[in-house]
Amino acid sequence: MSGPKKKSEGRANQYAYPGLDRVIHERARLSVLTSLARYPKGLRFGDLKELCGLTDGNLSRHMQVLQEAGFVEVEKSFEHNRPQTTCRLTPEGTRRYVEYLAVLEQVIRDAATAVKEGRGRVANVKP
Amino acid sequence: MSGPKKKSEGRANQYAYPGLDRVIHERARLSVLTSLARYPKGLRFGDLKELCGLTDGNLSRHMQVLQEAGFVEVEKSFEHNRPQTTCRLTPEGTRRYVEYLAVLEQVIRDAATAVKEGRGRVANVKP
């Protein structure tokens, strides 16, 4: 077994990532936010559903979580006499999504280092 | 409202990311796997807990999910007459973790493009 030899070798909470906000990190919600970031003026519910590969029920449920967090807003209107639901990011949602992405980039960097250094450790082990 | 004008403009499932395996993507488990990738010969339960900033109960619960998926293994032994639990990645776990990272990198690329193109769309809107 390897692992940190001294308390100081492995930093406490080194891989804890509190910045990976669970509201955003959940896979379906990450899809929703990425889609809405791409179309900041808003997406029809049906188009959003398609981009994310979600069912009506699933998208509704995740939109509710995101609305409660203040990250998205929903507008009901009529288009050619048919009810239309438009979903879009709020300024707060945009800000938090961009912050989240910075943490995700850190995870990728840490992971790349972990895999590289981990492989180095295995290679250095004497049989 | 903007959004895909035609069916063909926004690809169906463009942002669905089925490769973001929920077993790995969950924040605490992502921490556990990144820690174990860094120390492929194994980590003591206590050291792993510290690197991930998790409680005993939380780490146990997530280790169980990862064990059931075949991604990690746990070895019980004695060290200086005291019971010791060592956690490590399995070859399958390493493989799936590396695959997951490739999808995560795609998410980052898509997100960067989404934010950039989204901002471009807003900037191009006539008042």
Average pLDDT, chain B: 88
Q: Is B43 exposed, middle or buried (0-12, 13-18, 19+ CB in 10 A)?
A: buried
Quick one: average pLDDT of A63-81? 95
SS3 A78: strand
Low-confidence ranges of chain B (pLDDT < 50): 7-8, 124-127
A105, pLDDT greater than 60: yes
Decide if A3 and B44 are in contact by the 8 Å CB cutoff.
Answer: yes
Strand spans (E) along A12-100: 43-44, 72-79, 82-89
For residue B11, the 8-state DSSP code is P
In terms of pLDDT, which residue wins out, B59 or A4?
B59
- B51 inside 8 A of chain A by CB: yes
Residue B78: C-alpha distances to residues A60, B44, B46, B89 (Å):
51, 12, 14, 20
Task: State residue A126's pLDDT score.
Answer: 43
Task: State residue A122's pLDDT score.
Answer: 60
Task: State residue B127's pLDDT score.
Answer: 39
- B3 inside 8 A of chain A by CB: yes
In terms of pLDDT, which residue wins out, B120 or A85?
A85
Over residues A10-56, the pLDDT tens digits come to 689 999 999 999 999 999 999 999 999 999 999 999 999 999 999 99
Closest CA to A53 of A33, A23, A31, A34: A31
Task: State residue A117's pLDDT score.
Answer: 85
Interface size, chain A vs chain B, as Cβ–Cβ contacts under 8 Å: 179
- A74 inside 8 A of chain B by CB: no
Q: For residues B49 and B101, what is the distance between their CA atoms, to the nearest angstrom?
A: 22
Closest CA to B71 of B27, B40, B45: B40
Q: For residues B67 and B71, what is the distance between their CA atoms, to the nearest angstrom?
A: 6
Average pLDDT, chain A: 88
* DSSP per-residue codes, B75-118: EEEEETTEEEEEEEE-HHHHHHHHHHHHHHHHHHHHHHHHHHHH
Task: State residue A120's pLDDT score.
Answer: 73
Report whether B51 contacts A12 (CB < 8 A).
Answer: yes
Q: For residues B91 and B95, what is the distance between their CA atoms, to the nearest angstrom?
A: 6
